[in-house]
Structures are given as C-alpha cells and as structure tokens.
Structure 1
Amino acid sequence: MSDPVELATRFCRVLRAEGLAVGTGQIIDFCRAAAELGELYWAGLATLVSDREEIAVYDRVFRAFFSGHESMSMPEPQPDAPAVMRTAHTAGLADPSDEDADQQVAMASHVELLRKKSFADCTEDELHALFAAGARLPVATRRSRRYRAARKGSPDFQRTLRASFRTGAEPVRRAWRVRRLRPRRVVLLLDVSGSMAAYSRALLFFAHAGVRAQRGWEVFCFGTRLTRVTRELAQGTPDEALRRAADEVVDWDGGTRIGESLKRFLDGYGHGGLARGAWVVVCSDGLEFGDPEMLGQQMLRLSRLAHRVVWLNPLKEDPAYEPLVRGMQAALPHIDVFSSGHNLAGLVEGLAGALGPR
C-alpha cells in the first residue's frame, strides 16, 4: 500500500486542480485530522472544504480518487456508528492492534456523548476531556476583494488576454476566477453572572479553544461590568488561561447588566473596529437586572454595526422554554440567530448554521 501521507498529498493536489483552495496548511491539517479521527472522508470534508458549493466537487473527486480502495469509499451515515468512532485502521492510515482500536472507539464514543451532555452536568474532568479532544470549531469567512484562479466562476479577462498571445491573439483558452475567502472576526460576549455559573467555566473553555485555534477571535466577559480577556485566553493550558481570566474579571458570579455592558463594548471597542462587520456571539440567559429599554437600544446599535448577531441561551435546552423575561424580549428583534448553548454540540451547531461567506 502507498505511503498514507503521499496518498493524502496526491488527493489534495487533485482537489487543487479542480479549483479548491487547498494549500500546504490545509494538507497538514487534513493529515492530522485523518490520523486523529480515523475517517478519511470526514477529515477531508472538515479541513479541505471551505464553501458549501465545493462539497459536490469534493464528493466527486473523493469517489474517483479512492474508487480502487473499498475501505476508503464514502461512508453512509449510521446512527449507531458515528463517523468519529471509526478507527484509523478503517481509513487505511494506520494499522493498530485490535486492542488499540477498541480503545480509540471507546474514547471517541465517550467524547461524542460528552458533546451532547449539558455543561451544567459535566464534571471538571469531563470538561477537560471534552475540550482536549478538540472543539472542531466552525470557521467564519468572508469574500474578499481579491480573486484567485479557478475552473469556474466569473471570466478573468486579463489572464485570458495574456494566454491568447500564445495562440495568435485568439482566446482559445478562457480563464476564470472567484473571490478569495478571508477569515471574519468573531467576538464572544460571555455572561459570567451568578445565573450562568453552571455554564461560565465551560464557555471560557470554548473561548480558549477558539482563540488558540483561529485568528480574529475576541472574548469579553460581562456581569455588572465588561472585561476583555482575549490576551489571558490566548496562551497556556485551559486551566492557566481561566485562572488569568478570573483574576481580571472582578464581577464573577455577580449580577447581570447586559445593556450597560453592551454599551461599554460598543463605546469602547465596537465602533473602533471590533464589531464592525464581525460575527458577535452573546452567550447569556438574558436575565437582565438593568433597564430592558437600554438593552434593546444597545442591541439595535449592535445589529447595525455587526455582520450578524448570534445569541446562545442555555435555557433554550428545555423544549418548553419561551423567551418571556424582559431582557430577552428586548433583545430578540435584533438577533439574527437564536440558539441553545447548553452543550458543545449546541454551541458548534448554533455557530455552524450561521458562519460562512456572505
């Protein structure tokens, strides 16, 4: 059998020839994800595809490239055997013993269960295991003004004209281009008041994973006041980062003044560039102790400034939940995505359904 890394590299080159923006960094991420997940198809889909329109191309290339490898054919979804539970032996990237394979399956199964377990019910060790396995965060992107060569898209007249010089000024070979994708800033506003005590630590774990994994993430904590903790979460282990963040946040487990905190954010940071064109994600239960009218006014300012406003409320875990508190009533008209953030699956699903090039 061919060397797994060489095989994966050749597959990525074929994808690049089909117009996907697959660089050296994506190839390295693909090899690492495939070795960790043990599933070639899903590892490539998560690391090599950056646009929903590219999924069809990826599927076609995957089927054609691995058509001679039965163990690498595209998997069918099975509720009793999720893809993350398959081992590297199935994907052909490793050859572990049966005992090692069983351990990998058990570990992946345990993490998959933790992803759907409420943060309020997770122990300290379970939170460490959950985020140590990787949050697989969605990437917020935007279309830049710059273009790249592609197999389809809008006509690239300049490259077409240059190529025609080789064919007697006849445009035999036409060139195409598409806009490049750039990361879009993501701003997390985390409620660390007393009513969110069961979720605050897990949310900071999530923020730490986001800041370490992707550029352009900014994190603020708020209760009765606003505190920027991006720098504290950017280095070290999760425990060290949370310890530094806790030293900065003086109103931990206190009251909640969402409207005043949003005003401080917009006055001090938002209009200065952090919120302009960004995804702003508010993680809070909406229990406002301040003036709801102020909250509504600041949410209106935020919606006009940000690209999208996402509100993740862990109380939405309950199917019978209705946003009847005054704070949520004032904020809802200015929210683009309203979802639950009570577990890791809810956090990722709420963001993945919203983030993307717009």
Structure 2
Amino acid sequence: MTESSDAVAVATQFGRALRAEGVEAGPGRIAGFCRAAALVEPRDLYWAGRATLVAGPRDLPVYDRVFASFFTGAPTETAQPSVRVHVEGTLETELEVALASSIELLRQKTFADCSPEEIAELARLMEEMPLAVPRRRSRRRTAARSGSPDLRRTLRRSFRTGGEPLERAWSRRRVQQRRVVFLLDVSGSMTEYSRALVMFAHAALRAGRRWEAFCFGTRLTRVTRALATADPDEALRRAAEEVVDWNGGTRIGESLKRFLDEYGHRGMARGAVVVICSDGLEVGDPDLLGQQMARLSRLAHRVVWLNPLKEHAEYEPLVRGMRAALPHVDVFSSGGSLASLDALRRELGAL
C-alpha cells in the first residue's frame, strides 16, 4: 500500500500493475474505473474495478490476484472470483484523492512522456474541451432595437406615413468569430510533440469553421481539409500523407514567408489569431524569420507562440530563431501538455 503522499497515483499505479500482468487496462478503462469507484463504497471497490478494467473472463484470475496483492498486501495467489474483497483503513481517504486525479495526472504529463495509448486518450479529452473562440465586431451591420440610426430603413418606413420619419430604425455592427490559424512545426526536433499538437488542431477545427491549420518543416503544407474528419487517427494519417517533410528539417522563416505571400495578405491572417507551435530551432536565416514575424504581427490581431521546451523551468529562449521571433510575439506559452493547452484555450477567448 502506498503512503499518503503518494495517494494521488493509486488508481494509475493499479492500472499499470494490471497492464504489467497482461490485462488491457488502458487510460480509458482507468478513467472509467475512477468514475465508477467514486460512486461506490470502499468495500465495493473490487466490483467497480472488475466491471470497468476487466475485458473478458480470461482476465478475471489475473485481476483477482493483482487486486489482492495491490490493495491488501496479500500473497499473489489466485483469488476466488466469488470472494468480495474488503478495503479498510486509510484507503478510503487516499482513494478519493486518487480517483479524482487519474485524468489530472494525464493532463499535467508532458506529451514527450506519453505512450501511444495516452496520446489517444488525450485526443478524446481534447474533443471534449470547449474552445473559447475570440470575437470581433464586423463592418457589416444588422437591425437592432437600439444603437446607431439606420437612415435607409428609416426613410423606407417613412413612405407609409407620407414621408414623415415617425418610425425610426436602428442598427448595430455584427459580432463574429475571429479566424484562428495554426502553424504546426512537424520537423524532427518536434517529433515528441507534433502528434499531440496536430490532435489539438483537429479538435479546434471541429469546433468552428473559421479555423485553419498548416504544417511546416522545410516547406509549408495546408492541412485544414485533411483534419476535417471526425476520427482523430484518420485525420492524423491523412495529414501525414500530405506533409512530405514530416520529421525533416526546420525552416520557419521560409515557411512563414510562403504563408504570408500566398495566404496571409489575401485575408487569412488579417485580424486573425495566429498560433505558431514550434521549438524555434531554425536552421535557416534567423533574420528572415524576424522579418516575417514583423510582417505577421502587423497583419494579425494577436500572435501566439507555443514552445514545448518552455515546459522546463530551466528553459531560456537562447536559440537564434526564438530570439528573432520573440519581439513580435504577444503570448509566449508552452503547449507541451494538455493542462497548458487548456490554459491557452481560456486565454484565446480573452484575446
């Protein structure tokens, strides 16, 4: 049994113990175990786990043995399936903390340390995150009960009263969502993070029509259509097929220049929130990167830069590319875990 200081990891450790014995207890099943166990008494914990963590009859003997060993310290002998295991003592208090923290542990875990199963679970959690989309006032106007006088509609109504403007009309400027553009670095130095960040872009694209996504390494590739499918794994597969320089080199400046030349000045970046996900390890000309970031900052409403290396407390933006870009960045954050992306999600709504 773990000490109270380690109570937050009880549920996760139990799932790992089952996986080590061959039981397919992935993050999804562990999360289900947490939800089920929160609804039952501690003495019924055995049955909550059996209902959520066991995939079939062949796993029952292993589950009984691991449960008895993990929670009661009993010898690892096969337990009888019909025997109800009672959990007493301080486990109830510790388990309440652990059950609530299983998903939180995954939220705080850096993408570089996540297994493929955990990345899949993170994709599901991203789909459930409500994304706050920044808004702006449009130049177009709409009818309203108050606001600015609408002379055209007022004059039209005056025809009914012999030309006297007795019934006045009002209008206001429409409010619409700002466009959000993702520029995702999928070069070799971002291998440990690119999959999760593409998953986040996929969840964002499904949340609204005014989201765009591009991938870049040594060249720029638009992947908005590739990510416009419901299945995250299929979206990732389609994006990987279109991006020919995945896990290659990094030319951020040249990729930004192409984005601005072909898309940005045509309206995609104008008034938009542009989110660049990259570690800033530029192998091209850093002066070119600085020039293109200056162009982007003049067009965009806000420029957000997510650098997963910022997750480490000792990180300093000393590489040439990052130093050239930072003067033109409005928000500099990590984006290396689900928790940091959740913080960005809330911050986007206030931009």
The TM-score bracket by the shorter chain reads: 0.5 to 0.7
Deviation (angstroms), 1:351: 4.4
Structure 1 distance, partners of 2:182, 2:269, is: 10
Q: Does residue 198 in structure 1 map to residue 192 in structure 2?
A: yes
- The residue number in structure 1 matching 2:222 is 228
Match of 1:241 among 235, 239, 243: 235
Distance between the aligned counterparts of 2:100 and 2:182, measured in 1? 28
Which residue is 2:299 aligned to? 305
Deviations 1:160-217 (A, max 9, x none): 9x9xxxxxx9x9xx99986542111110000001111100000011011111121111
SS at match of 2:263: helix
Q: In the alignment, what sits opposite 2:116?
A: 124
Query: Structure 1 261/107 Cα, relative in aligned 2: closer, same or farther at 3 Å?
Result: farther
Distance change in 2, residues 1:115/1:177 (3 Å)? farther
Deviation digits for residues 254-291 of structure 1, max 9, x if unmatched? Answer: 11110011011111111122111111100000000000
TM-score for the superposition, normalised by structure 2: 0.63
Map of 2:259 onto structure 1: 265
Note if contact 2:110-2:336 (Cα within 8 Å) is conserved in structure 1: yes
Within the candidate set 339, 345, 351, 2:333 is matched to 339
Mapped to 2, the partners of 1:356 and 1:231 lie a distance apart of: 27
Q: Distance in 1 between matches of 2:328 and 2:150?
A: 42
The answer as to whether partners of 2:133 and 2:348 remain within 8 angstroms in 1 is no
2:39 is aligned to 98
Write the distance in 2 (CA, Å) between the matches of 1:107 and 1:241.
32
| Structure 1 runs not aligned, ≥5 long | 1-86, 89-96, 163-168
- Residue 237 of structure 2 is aligned to residue 296 of structure 1: no
Quote the offset at 1:107 in angstroms. Answer: 7.8
Query: Are 1:115 and 2:107 matched, yes or no?
Result: yes
Equivalent-residue separation in structure 2 for 1:108 and 1:213 (angstroms): 27
Q: Deviation per CA, 1:84-115, whole angstroms, max 9, x where unpaired?
A: xxx99xxxxxxxx9359x98998874333322
**Which residue of 2 is the match for residue 37 of structure 1?**
none
Q: CA deviation at 1:130?
A: 2.1
Match of 2:315 among 310, 321, 326: 321
- CA separation of 1:116 and 1:279: change in aligned 2, threshold 3 A: same
Please, which moves more after superposition, 209-218 or 289-298?
Answer: 209-218
2-side partners of 1:227 and 1:108: how far apart? 40
CA 1:338 to 1:351, structure 2 compared with 1: closer, same or farther past 3 Å? farther
| Aligned partners of 2:188 and 2:248 also within 8 Å | yes
Q: Give the AA of the match of 1:111.
A: I
- In structure 2, the residue matched to 1:28 is none
Give runs of aligned pairs for residues 63-74 of structure 1, distance below 5 A: none
Query: Paired residues, what number?
Result: 253
Give the counterpart of 2:268 among 271, 274, 277.
274
* 8 A contact 1:223–1:254 mirrored in 2: yes
TM-score, normalised via structure 1 length? 0.62
Give the Å deviation of 1:148. 6.6
> Paired residue for 2:82?
none
3-state SS in 2 of match to 1:232: coil
Letter in 1 for 2:205: V
Q: Which residue of 2 aligns with 1:83?
A: none
TM-superposition CA deviations, 1:49-86 (whole Å, max 9, x none): xxxxxxxxxxxxxxxxxxxxxxxxxxxxxxxxxxxxxx
Q: What is the one-letter code of the residue matched to 1:224?
A: T
CA distance in 2, matches of 1:351, 1:112: 17
Pairwise CA distance, 1:155: 6.9
Bigger Rg, which one? 2
Distance in 2 between residues matched to 1:324 and 1:308, nearest whole Å: 23
SS in 2 for 1:221: strand
RMSD: 3.4
Counterpart code for 2:123: F
Percent sequence identity over matched residues?
Answer: 64
Q: 1:141 aligns with which of 110, 132, 135?
A: 135
Aligned-partner Cα distance in 2 for 1:235–1:324: 38
Structure 1 residue 292, shift from structure 2 partner:
0.3
Structure 2 gap ranges (5+): 1-33, 53-95, 158-163
